[in-house]
Amino acid sequence: MTGFAADLPGIGAAEKALRAAADDLEVSLTPAGDVGPGRLDVVVGALLAAAEADVSRARATVTALSDNVGRVRETYTALDSEAASRFDQGSW
């Protein structure tokens, strides 16, 4: 035995924090009204659409990180369970 133990509650807390951060990144950016003369409406609309797409990609990345952390926790839980089962079986 190495004495190593995964901090399953800590890993679970990290997963929840990442999921909450991803949820906070759900935004819809629209101009509050008339932004000015000429093509300014079009330019501001394009800028906001690009910013919304960037935030959406960031949200997808953070969501994927949360999913990965969840899989890490599940893997450690399965390994711990398997090790305990083998330990209970005694000598091989």
Between 8-24 and 40-89, two packed helices, what is the crossing angle to 10 degrees? Answer: 160
pTM: 0.77
Residue 85 scores a pLDDT above 90: no
Residue 15 belongs to some domain of the structure: yes
Residue 90 belongs to some domain of the structure: no
Question: In whole angstroms, what is the distance from residue 27 CA to residue 48 CA?
Answer: 11
Domain that holds residue 16: 8-25+38-82
Residue 60 belongs to some domain of the structure: yes
Residue 52 belongs to some domain of the structure: yes
Domain count, the chain: 1
- The answer to which of 28-32, 47-51, 64-68, 82-86 has the lowest mean pLDDT is 82-86
* pLDDT single digits (tens) 65-83: 999 999 999 999 998 888 8
Residue 1 scores a pLDDT above 80: no
Residue 91 belongs to some domain of the structure: no
Residue 19 belongs to some domain of the structure: yes
